[in-house]
Amino acid sequence: MALVAGATRGAGRGIAVELGAAGATVYVTGRTTRTQRSEYNRPETIEETAELVNEAGGKGIAVQVDHLVPDQVQALIGRIENEQGRLDVLVNDIWGAENLMQWDVPVWEHSLDNGIRMLRLAIDTHLITSHFALPLLIRSENGLVVEMTDGTDAYNERNYRVSMFYDLAKTSVLRMAKSLARELQPYRCTAVAVTPGWMRSEIMLETFGVREDNWRDALEKVPHFVISETPRFVGRAVAALAGDPEVSRWNGQSVSSGELAKVYDFYDLDGSQPDAWRYLVEVQDAGKPANAAGYR
């Protein structure tokens, strides 16, 4: 029994589908439905995600929730308890702030309203969701909380991430996993921070003017996109964690989809195992020409 909070698109959708492929009942939440769009103003909906979960072999249940509104989150968890009686996996993937980001802009020039909104979407949503969901999750021995972020602990410790607001948003989530690990350990539950690599989300493909079936056409303009991965790859990473009876070995750690692929022997849809964060350090950040040989 899983809740993927923030499953409208991108990593959340990929995770929900792969949990469904593993046979799970998955509650998928977000703000955009077929009758109402969020401030994102994008076409993907939670109903579509639920249908994809069903097609994969699971049971998808779409619930419109704004995870900044405590009453809505509390009602969601109450519904899950009433309908299922348990919660085994919580994936905190709420984000929805790409439109607020200003790249490489110092804090005194960055929009303060956008920056604060970004932090609320990235941090407050996760805290509110955990506050209401964890009393139900800790009833399940071997319960799992996955905090989704961008970047491993090691990479983000050494690198400036886009802007101070974005940097704080993504590093704060890493710290959440460590704190939750301490609080959950007495209940034999696990918290882990997971990052995808360079993910071919709907927004990323649109930005580069390509589709999933011709994504390599973007390499002429963005050569390092060669290391990219589908949202299903990180979905398989989370599904592998959820199905691991020894998942507690990851408690409090920060891991990537590429790292977990080597441990659990899963592959992306094209049969590769892209290891984006190692590639970033050894190839892209090192100023070498784009070449994914040995990295996927």
Domain parsing of the chain, residue ranges: 2-199+231-273
Residue 120: Cβ within 10 Å count:
14
Q: Check if the beta carbon of residue 180 is closer than 8 Å to that of residue 90.
A: no
E-only strand ranges, the chain: 2-5, 25-30, 59-64, 89-92, 144-148, 190-195, 254-256
pLDDT digits (tens, 9 = 90+) for 167-216: 999 999 999 999 999 999 999 999 999 999 999 999 999 999 999 999 99
141 pLDDT above the threshold of 90: no
C-alpha distances (whole Å) from 236 to each of 6, 136, 256, 257, 283 are: 17, 24, 11, 8, 25
Cα 112 to Cα 54, 107, 140, 172, 256, distances in angstroms: 41, 8, 41, 18, 31
What does residue 81 show for φ and ψ, rounded to 5 degrees? -65, -45
Q: Give the per-residue pLDDT at 33.
A: 95
- pLDDT category at 112 given cuts 50, 70, 90 is very high
pTM greater than the 0.75 cutoff = yes
Instruction: Report which DSSP code applies to 229.
Output: B
CA–CA distance, 224 with 271 (Å, rounded to integer): 19
Averaged pLDDT of the chain: 97
- What SS3 class is residue 90? strand
**Overall average pLDDT of the 156-174 stretch:** 95
pLDDT (0 to 100) of residue 41 = 87
Which structure tokens are listed for 170?
A: 């993504």
Task: Provide mean pLDDT across the span 256-262.
Answer: 98
Fold classified for 2-199+231-273: Rossmann fold (3.40.50)
pLDDT digits (tens, 9 = 90+) for 42-97: 999 999 999 999 999 999 999 999 999 999 999 999 999 999 999 999 999 999 88
Report how far residue 257's alpha carbon sits from residue 245's, in angstroms, rounded to the nearest whole number: 19
Confidence (pLDDT) at 40: 83
